[in-house]
Amino acid sequence: MKEIRTFTLLGQSFSGKTALARAMFSLAGEKAPVREGEPTLAATPYRLSWQGKEYYFLDTPGDDNFLGETKLACWAADFAVLVVDATSPVKVQLEKAYAAAQEAGLPTLVFVNKLDQEKSQLEDILCELQERLGLCAVPVAYPLGEEAQLRGIIDLLKLRVYIPEGTRVRVEGLPEDLRALAEGLRKNMIEFAAEEEDELLEKYLEEEHLEPEEIMRGLRKGVLSGKLAPVCVGSVARMVGVARLLDAIAELGPSPADRGPRIAEGPEGAAEVWPDPQAPPAVLIYKTLIDPYAGRLSFGRVVSGTLSREGVLFNPHRDLSEKYAHLSVAQGEKLSEISRAGPGALVVFPKLSETRTGETLTGEGLRIKLLPPELPEPVLTYALHPETRTDEDKIGPALSKLLEEDPTLKIRRDEETREILISGLGQIHLERSVEKLRERYGVKARMDLPHIPYRETIRKPAQGVIYRHKKQTGGRGQFAEVHFHVFPLPRGQGFEFLETLTGMNVPRNFVPAVEKGVREAMEKGPLAGYPVVDVKVQFYDGKSHEVDSSDMAFKIAAFHCFKKALEQCEPVLLEPIMELEIEVPEENMGDVIGDINARRGRVLGMEARDRTQLIRAQAPLSELLRYALDLNSITGGRGTFRMRFSHYEEVPPPIAQRVIEAARADQG
């Protein structure tokens, strides 16, 4: 277990994470199972060996449309390697990826990539990491040459120069003209290492010297505590610094044993799960993939215990046992069967029938649940329309499989509009989901903005409204007469039906039919066919016939009486108002507030939070359908928001007229 490292590669898009993975395999003398030229859209597991140690790692997406994948990868890892683009060190995507690592409590190592590019100065990059991420970045290597002249790195621990030659590295002595610079940087590194342990600090203050093993010990403690982030440097394109990073992962990256126990939810409260190979197994499931050929694949991280090639595990979330066979590890898209796996291993279980992402599998004697991270909530919703009747028949099962793979997706059917609504983390996330429907399951569908669930109501009462239904076509006829008073109710009260009949003009057994007729009439209002709400109907009188009256006759009479009453009550259109909590950088606050006002919204209050501002506001849903995209544009991707339904309000007349005309055109 001391020889295992389990980590995740984090960084913004195009920082070079996937290229770094490919270079690591090349240096390790293994065939790289990494695709070239394609952006990473899902957390992808790999395994390689480096100088007697086993590395399990996850390459994660850089785009925050797939932040859920990044968070789940952090849950499965013991530490993170932050890949920083020297040409543009800290974009919002990197901020969010690093925040995911912090939420998971991951120690961090840094690799500064692309130092062979123009305007890539390491000192400026380190300052930006400190200012923007609060990262205490401590270089353990330094570039040999600048920009296009970059040809290797200086190892600050050994004061040696490492120059790549293909998949090999040539080691040279330190040139004299660089000695003063390197020794100054080394002294800085030693001071940080010494501060992590009293014994080391005391020795350093007395002797101004620490042995390499002591320096490493101090740095390891700093990494594990989260106080330090050792920095390796280089250029993946030139293979510069990659070998030093692989060494640093072995020297400074914590093993499963170093990370210690994970906190789980047990039958009697919180429980600790230690990474002990002899303990009962505990495996967290961080990813599910449904392959058209291999079926369901469950990707797990072994937290404790030792798994064999086949066996039985218990799922405490579902209170059932899962039988597994053909235990495997993944190299990108390829699976290789293994005979055993202990703490730290990233494994794959083919064809588990019930277990889903975020759940725990344990030995029979262990009843604990390893708690998954809180995943980001969807911010953008579209209506999904199958293109053909065949697509309509197939879309339900296909969407169920999509939901299994991606817990950040939300799918529901709107009973009022009959639309399938798909919600996700952004435009790219939703477009990629629709692509999966087509590529994997042969379901073609298009995305449109969803219909707004408008409502209709009344402004004033109508009293003494009478409607008689009489039909005679030979044989038994139909007769019913109802008398209504109709009143508006306060907003949000819904519907109230009141029966105040006196005498025997209408037998009481017809009252349920009258109420049913009114409720059916409320389904489509007179303005644009939207449901009617916030009304009270008083059924106070009527007439009946001892032969021709029936439930159906009274239902029809009530339906038309209510419709007749609405015409006298000044019907108006209502729209849903949403409550917003928007967190934005201070410098964007004015623009965001101005944008809310332009959307017919109103700001309710503001609250300072560190370097951000929390804005509470309300705005109509019709103005917020693409708000996630617009807020990203205003804040450079740094703004986040949460939205929930608040109440209904009357639509301003000019806008109401446009909505009514559009609805009537659709109906026509």
Q: Note whether residue 467 is domain-resident.
A: yes
Same domain, 328 and 389: no
pLDDT of residue 1: 65
Same domain, 336 and 314: yes
- What CATH number is attached to the domain comprising 547? 3.30.230.10
DSSP 117: S
- What CATH number is attached to the domain comprising 415? 3.30.70.870
Compute the distance between CA of residue 254 and CA of residue 562 in angstroms, rounded to an integer.
72
pLDDT of residue 474: 64
Q: Note whether residue 355 is domain-resident.
A: yes
Same domain, 141 and 54: yes
DSSP 149: G
Alpha helices in 164-235 (DSSP H): 176-194, 198-207, 212-225
DSSP 396: H
- What CATH number is attached to the domain comprising 268? 2.40.30.10
Same domain, 67 and 40: yes
> How many other C-beta atoms are found inside a 10 Å radius of the C-beta of residue 508?
9
Same domain, 565 and 516: yes
Q: Note whether residue 32 is domain-resident.
A: yes
* Domain count along the chain: 5
Block mean pLDDT (10 aa), the chain, length 668: 92 94 92 76 94 95 94 98 95 94 96 92 93 93 92 93 88 90 92 91 86 92 95 95 95 95 91 93 96 89 96 94 95 92 97 94 89 93 95 94 95 89 95 94 94 95 95 80 96 95 92 97 94 97 92 96 96 96 93 96 91 93 94 92 94 95 83
Domain end position, chosen among 341, 370, 399: 370
Q: Note whether residue 55 is domain-resident.
A: yes
Same domain, 44 and 180: yes
Q: Note whether residue 127 is domain-resident.
A: yes
Domain end position, chosen among 347, 370, 393: 370
Same domain, 539 and 390: no
3-state DSSP assignment of residue 598: helix
Locate tokens 């794959």: which residue?
348
Same domain, 249 and 111: yes
Q: Note whether residue 547 is domain-resident.
A: yes
Locate tokens 């997706």: which residue?
409
Same domain, 407 and 433: yes
Same domain, 37 and 65: yes
Alpha helices in 456-600 (DSSP H): 511-522, 551-567, 589-598
pLDDT of residue 337: 95
Q: Note whether residue 597 is domain-resident.
A: yes
Q: Note whether residue 375 is domain-resident.
A: no
- What CATH number is attached to the domain comprising 663? 3.30.70.240
Range of the structural domain that residue 386 is part of: 380-448
Domain end position, chosen among 337, 370, 403: 370
Same domain, 326 and 216: no
- What CATH number is attached to the domain comprising 12? 3.40.50.300
Same domain, 89 and 235: yes
